[in-house]
Each structure stands twice: as C-alpha cells, then as structure tokens.
Chain A
Amino acid sequence: MADPARAEAAAPSTINAPALGSIDAALQALPRDGEEPNVLREGLRRERTAPPCVMVIFGASGDLTSRKLIPALYDLALQRLLPPEFTVLGVARRPYTDASFRTMLRETAEQYARTRPLRPEVWESFAAGINYLQGDPGEAQTYERLRAQLDELDRARGTSGRRLFYVATPPTLFSGIVRSLGAAGLNRSDAPEGWVRIVIEKPFGRDLVTARLLNREVQLVFRESQIYRIDHYLGKETVQNIMAFRFSNRLWEPLWSEQHIDHVQITVAESIGVEDRGGYYEQSGALRDMVQNHMLQLLTMVAMEPPVTFDAEAVRDEKLKVLRALRPISPAGFSQQVVRGQYGEGWVAGEHVPGYRQEEGVSPTSNTETYVALKLYLDTWRWAGTPFYLRHGKRLPKRSTEIVVQFKRAPHVPFGGVAAASLDPNLLVLRVQPDEGITLRFGAKVPGPAMQLRSVNMDFYYGSSFLVESPDAYERLLLDCMLGDRTLFMRADEVEQAWSFVTPLFDAWARDQPTFPNYAAGTWGPAAADQLIRRDGRHWHRP
C-alpha cells in the first residue's frame, strides 16, 4: 500500500470540531433500549419513512414555501413517505388563518407539485396537518407562542418532540431567528425520542467574514450535527450520479489522475438573464450566485478521493480536502486565471434581449459580473499540474451544465501522420443537464482499405435506461433531514473553505474598473475567457 493518494486519504483531517459531530451521529445511530426493528419494513422500497415530526417554516408566506417546500412535501405524502402524524407549522407576519393558509398553499401546489393534478383526498389529509402561526420573527413573544403551539401539536398529533426548523426567510433575518430560538429554549428537545434540527437556505454569507460570523452565530445555539445547510444542487439526482459513476466502477478510477487526464472543464451555462431578480443579482453576481457554491461542489465531486463510506462525515471530509487543496490565486497569476464578464444586448434563441445594465432593478453603470471563467489547480498528488477550467455565465447561447474530462493523447500512435490526423484525444463528458448522460469519445478505424482513423462518440443517455422518474431535489433533501442524514448538506468548514478561496477574488476585482459590457448576449462569453484557455493550447468544448 504505497499509493500516496491513499495515504493522504487515510491521514487524519483537521476540520473544525469534528469529534462532537461524529459522536452525536454515532449515538443517534445506536438502537435505543428495548427498541426492536420494524421487520415489516424489510425490503420495502424505502427502508425508513420519516419519523413523526413537526416542520416549522419561518417565512411561510414566501415563494420558497409555496413553490418548493409544500409541493415537495405533498409529493412525499403521495409516495407514502410521510407518517400520518407529520405536521407543518408556518410562521410569518401575514394574517392567515390555518384555513386560508391551506387554501393559499393548495392553489400554488396545484401549479408546482411534481404530480399534478393534486389528488383531492390526499391533499386534504396532508393539509389537515398544516397549521399557521401569525407572528413577527423579530419579536420574542412570537417564540413563546411558538413553543406553546409546538407543545400542543406534540400532544394532539403524536410528533413526540421532533422538530425541524426551516429558515426560508431573507438572509437578513437568519441570525435573529436563530438567537431567538435559542433564547426560548427551542434549540433542544426534552422528549426522550425528540430531536431538533435546523435547515438554513443559501446564501451562507457573502464572503469569508460574514460566512464565519453566521456559522458562529448558529453554532452558539445549535450543535453542528443539528444544522442542515441546504444547497438544492446537491439533491439533484444528476449530481449524485457523478459520485455513483466514479465510485461504483472499476473502469475510471485508475485513469482518474494527472497521469492520464489532461484537464477538466466544468461549464454551467444559462441562456436566461437575471429575469425579475435584478435587484438580488446586483448584490450577488455570478461568482457568489453560482461559482462559490454549486460549481465548487461539482469540482469537489469530480476531484475528491473515494470516501470510505457514503455517509455524512466520510463524504464531507473528502469534499473538504478538495477545497483545502485549491491553490490560492496569486496577484501575479490573477489576470491569467480569472476572467469576469457582463453581457450587453444581443440575440438569444432568435430573440433580441437587452443588456444586463438595461435589466430591471440593475444600475445602468453596474459592475456586477454575469460571467466568470477560472483556471484552477489542486495541490494534491492526484491532481498536481492538471488544470481545472470553470466557466459560468448568463445569456449564453444555450442552457447546459456539463463536466468534460479530457484525457491525454495516446503516448505513441503507430499509424503515422495522415492516419491519425483527425484523431482527437479521448473525452469523457458527464452531462448534468439537460439530457443527462455520459458521452465517451474514442478513436476508430474508418471503413476502407486504408488505415484511417476518426473520433467517434458513444452516448449513454441516463433517462433511457431507467424506468422510474427522478424525484425533485427538495423531496430528497427534506426526507434526508427528517431521517437525520446530512450527507447531501454542507458542513460549516466546507462553506468557509469555499469562501476563503473565493473572497480574495472579490478583493482583487474591487481594485480596478472593468470594461463592461464585454460580451454580447447569445455568445460564449468575453474574448478574454477564450484567451485564458487558448494560452495553454486548449479550447472550450462546445456543450
């Protein structure tokens, strides 16, 4: 066992306070005294359904609740994955009653549930467990009423002190809610079978300092094992499939290193602009909105070492190690490794569209980036010298998310110059969306008397090989939360590590004035992004 990559995997990690978290997890997994397994569950499609619990949603009158959370919960109920006791308690300022809250949710669920139309009797039975508490999340008194109502629900519905707090409010309210929950003693459960968990939506801060601050504030009240930072990207089947593809096959892993891989490209292209989120996007930008979270997560999945098991700490330890191995971008290398862009007017899919600065809610002199291209290195034995090119932009020609792994050329091609002239290096493309699947490119002989070679593609199309529909990301993640599985949620140290890599880029950008717009809507980004990769004798693959 002299493989250094393995030795590295076995080295003790130095993450923040992991001991507390893993002991917690271990204790939770132990069977309690006298508890026998439910033998009837054996072999059923889901080994466990969620235990009876209450989900408390802050910001219950907002879009996230009505468009994502409630439809996902309804679909879970439809699959019989929620227990009869399951209860929702919405908290917000608007004056709803239980009845009018349910009516409002039903109207949106009709529109957004995965399985439509709604089945009235299933909805009625599910909605009977939905309650509403009108209250200002900024007032202490709200939490006293909340506590009283939760105790009452425990009694009436048999939820046994199991509580899931879902913070679906604007980020400015996060820390206040967390503090108040702590002050009201709602951060722990006194019931013997009880637990308390808290789900936090992104953004987890807007740079390293704010992310750390937010983590500290939450960790003052909740233990890390109670905290679920949700990034819906990780709940996508297609993203989880990257790990399945890498770690369930013998075929790829021996080739998966600098020895055989020339470089990796990760593209998240969007054809849409900022839609009606101009105001939000002005505060965010492409790097914060997509690269810091989703794209670095994709990078970790492509680059991570095989985890020992597919459980929360093992997987997140490996992902963290990738983030820690990211080589900081030095001021000298900055112009060679980082490109930002902003779209001007142009044509997308046959339609004329305005430039970013003309969008609603956007300043006419805005310097917010809508495009980012990065060239990254991972300082590990496995990846030394292999560049990872990342690009993301809005108003690009088409919507596409894919990971391209380009292999090195064959060390020696015995067929001579002409025969191999049209032969490209081997390519493995993991398409995340749309049309999820895998393409493998290899060389083959063109039929005929001469030894002439050409590259051909072999396609695997994910949807065609499975007969079941994929669940929505929120369905998967909400169920995981209730079951206490944190594998697909972000750990505090992961979030901070990602920010500590990205934050210096903002600082560097702040020092000079960009020339925006620098790419037309409907093109593949600024010319500088092409130069970034062409300098290395490579090119972006057309998705």
Chain B
Amino acid sequence: MMNSRLSPQHAGVATNVWEAQDVTVADVERQLQRNLSELTAPAAHDGAAHPPPRASVLNLVVHADEDGEAERASAAMAALAIRHPSRTLLLVTAPDAPTDGLDAVIRTQRTQGPGGQTHLCFEEVRLLARGATALHLSSVVEPLLMSNLPAYLWWLGRPPRAYDPLLALCDRLIVDSAEFPDALTGLAALDACAVAGEKHVELGDLGWRRIAPWCQLVAQFFDPPDARPYLRRIRRVAVEYVACPNAVVSAPPLLLVGWLAARLNWAPESAAVARGALDTLFMPSQPSADGDRVMVRIRPQPAPDRPPGALLAVTLTAGTGSEVATFEVRLGDSATCGLTRAVIPGVREMERMAPLGQASTAELLASELERPAADPIYADSLAVVGRLVR
C-alpha cells in the first residue's frame, strides 16, 4: 500500500511525502532517490539556474520505543526548520507487534534559505520496525545512512544497553538525562556506554546542555583575579532542585556536582542517598591542614509550578572563619533569569540578574549537533556520578 504526493505550498517551498506499509529497505532507498530528483528537477524549482543544494552535514538517527516519544522528537526537529541537518532516520520500535516488518514515511522538503535566493533540501525517513525487525535495527539503518558523514544517534527515554548494535554504527550517542526514570543509575549506565566495546562512542546529553548556563554563571564568579583563590577553598556546596514525583534525585544537580568535582579534582569518599536527598563527602585536591572535606548536599524542594528535577539554587561556601566567601546562583521569579550573588569579605558584594535561558528541546538539540568534537568535560562529570553509584 503506497501513497505519494507532491504538495507545493507556496513559492519556493515544496514537500514531498510518501507513505507505505510492509516495505523493504531497498524500497525506501529507491523512493528517497525518486523524491529527491523530483524536488531538484529544473521544472520543480522556479527560475533557479541549477538544482538546489543539499545541506550535507550529518546523519541523525533517532530511536524511540513508542509513538509518543517519536512525535515529540519529530516536533523538535520540525522546530529546527531550515536549520535542519541533512538526513534524519526516525526509528520507532514495536518488538511486540504480531507481525515482523517495516513501515515507512518519507518526507522530503525543499525550502528557501534565509536570504530567499537559495533553495535547500532536507529529508526525514520515519520507520516503524515491527516484531523481529525491531531487534535488528542496525541492518535497517546502515544502508540508509549517507556515506562519509558522521551519524549521530539520538536515543529517547532511558539510556540504551551498553552493547546495543546501533551504538557501534554511530559516532555519537545523544540522550536527555532529564528523561531517565532514575537519574543516578541512568547516568551510571550512560557512563558505561562510553567505555563499552572497542569503538569509542562520544556522548551528548541535552540535560547537560540545559544546565550549561548554570555552569557558566558559577564559573564567572571566579573570573576576577581577586576571587580566584577561593576556588580551591570551597568547602561546602548546596544544591536545591525541584522535587520529582518518584522521590529520586534528578540529573541536573548530579551533573552540576559531578562537574564541580571533576574540574576541581575532588575525589568522592562517601555518598548517602535518601528520598531525593544526597549527601556526599569529597576529598579536595589541596586538603587544608585540618583535613577538611568538601561537603555537598543535594536537596529536593517543592515547587509545583516548575519542571520536576530542574535546578533551583547552587551555593558555594569557600574559606574558613571570618574569611568565608559565598557564591550563589538562584533561579529568579521568571525562571529564565537567575540572581547571582557573590560576597567576598572585605572585597565586594555583587548582585545581579543574569539570563539563565530556558532552551527548548529543539534549541538544545541544535547546540548539541553543532558541537563538533567530543566533550571531555561532560565525560569527566559523568564519570564522577558513575563513581558515586559504585
């Protein structure tokens, strides 16, 4: 059962949609070629002297366990609009379906660049893998990847198993740690993916991107040279986040603490977790004479109007006695701004509202896809969280 239509919407923009059930990978490949040549044929684009260029940057493979997830991913990619990267394969698995096989929807689009003079082509292939086919996805994906371009795997929901064959096929695994049902074990499992197998898989995490503005604001406290010495003297860290319904620690505070510990070279000594609260002791890289540890407390706070798991505040206390300096970032009333406050005794007290951003999934995905190389800072932070679990 096949159905194809070319729908010119307005001048210069056209979408070609093809749907079919029970197809082979070869059918999909053939149809992709056909759609593209229709869109790029001289008759199909008005006045341009030559065929529209294709933006060929990468392959994006999206893995979803259910239709709802796939819909959300599809919406996020639609929001990327003309900034869409090359070819997208959206895989939806239904291993419990009564029959084996593959259903496909191919959407190719020609659109105009921001200058209005250039045409661009994009394509999205949505595949429903039923029954046993769902268990052999890499055999479906491999022939459909554009050659000589990196392939990124965006895995929705909980993290994949470390030995999933799709991982071997892709150069980067992207997850959203905010979607993990249990962040502590989820992040540890993700850490395991990075080191599994012979091939090294780069990791990306939309949840990590989401807390980047927090990290930036915390780092900024220590830019002025007179604040720099306090960095090594941090002895207390308090992180507050929005309590989750299932009373487990969410990913954002764990990643933030993991980041601080990794950058400042703190070694975890002990960790105790109960009902969404986590207490950890770290050995600092330059222990003071009295053997002080760095005490980290993560605490959930009720905040019904905020997304569960999100950061509310981080407070760093550095130094001892009358020399104690504090540095705090706290979510403002508007949720897109943070109040930053630095108190350094005898030096200055500075307060301001700083933008924290509230990036959409599409924007986070865009910035993740834009990152050209591996992110060792994330890998280090994740490794600290992994050690907390072990």
Contact = CB atoms under 8 A, between A and B. Distances in A.
Contacts of A351: none
Given A44-B219, A121-B353, A465 B115 contact: no
Contact of A83 (B224, B231, B336): B224
A461 B220 contact: no
Contact of A125 (B57, B116, B215, B352): B352
A278 B336 CA distance: 45
A463 B114 CA distance: 8
B354 A80 contact: yes
Interface in A153-181: 158, 160
Interface string B220-234: 101111001101100
Contacts of A48: 223
Interface string B344-386: 0001101111110000000000110110000111000000000
Contacts of A42: 263, 377
B274 interface: no
Given A83-B224, A467-B80, A124 B353 contact: yes
A84 B116 CA distance: 39
A52 B228 CA distance: 14
B301 to A, nearest CB: 22
Interface string B162-205: 00000000000000000000000000000000000000000000
A470 to B, nearest CB: 10
Contacts of A125: 352-354
Contact of A160 (B215, B224, B354): B224
Contact of B120 (A52, A122, A128, A461): A461
Interface in B54-107: 55-57, 80, 82-83, 85
A139 interface: no
A52 B53 CA distance: 45
Highest count of chain B CB atoms <10 Å: which of A38, A460, A465, A467: A467
A459 B50 CA distance: 9
A52 B366 CA distance: 31
B352 to A, nearest CB: 4
Contacts of B263: 39-40, 42
Interface string A434-448: 111100000000000
Highest count of chain B CB atoms <10 Å: which of A41, A79, A124, A128: A41
Interface in A79-102: 79-80, 83-85
Contact of A49 (B223, B350, B366): B223
Contacts of B264: 39-40
Interface string B314-350: 0000000000000000001010110010100001101
Contacts of A461: 53, 55, 113, 118, 120
A460 to B, nearest CB: 7
Nearest to B112: A435
A437 B223 contact: no
Nearest to B259: A40
A457 B52 CA distance: 10
A467 B231 contact: no
A437 B370 CA distance: 18
B17 interface: no
Contacts of A456: 50
A535 B342 CA distance: 70
- Chain A interface helix/strand/loop/mixed: loop
B223 A38 contact: yes
A112 B99 CA distance: 59
Contacts of A465: 55-57
A122 B340 CA distance: 12
Contacts of B375: 43
Contact of A122 (B213, B231, B354): B354
Interface residues of A, number: 47
Nearest to A467: B366
A85 B221 CA distance: 11
Given A49-B220, A83-B220, A39 B231 contact: yes
Interface string A447-461: 000000000111111
Interface string A61-94: 0000000000000000111100111000000000
B366 A84 contact: no
Contacts of B82: 463-464
A467 B369 CA distance: 8
A467 B223 contact: no
A467 B348 CA distance: 40
A316 B115 CA distance: 32
Nearest to B362: A467
B118 A193 contact: no
A7 interface: no
Interface in A479-526: none
A534 interface: no
Contact of A193 (B213, B215, B225, B260): B225
Contacts of A437: 118
A506 to B, nearest CB: 35
Interface in A101-155: 119, 121-122, 124-125, 128
Contacts of B231: 36, 38-40
B222 A38 contact: yes
Contacts of A458: 53
B271 interface: no
A412 interface: no
23 contacts: A36-B229, A36-B232, A38-B222, A39-B263, A43-B375, A43-B376, A45-B212, A51-B223, A80-B354, A121-B336, A122-B353, A160-B224, A434-B115, A434-B117, A435-B114, A457-B49, A459-B118, A460-B53, A463-B82, A463-B113, A464-B113, A466-B370, A467-B367
Given A44-B215, A119-B355, A464-B82, 5 more contacts: A39-B264, A41-B219, A125-B353, A464-B120, A467-B80
Closest 5 CB pairs of A and B: A43-B377, A464-B55, A435-B115, A40-B219, A125-B353
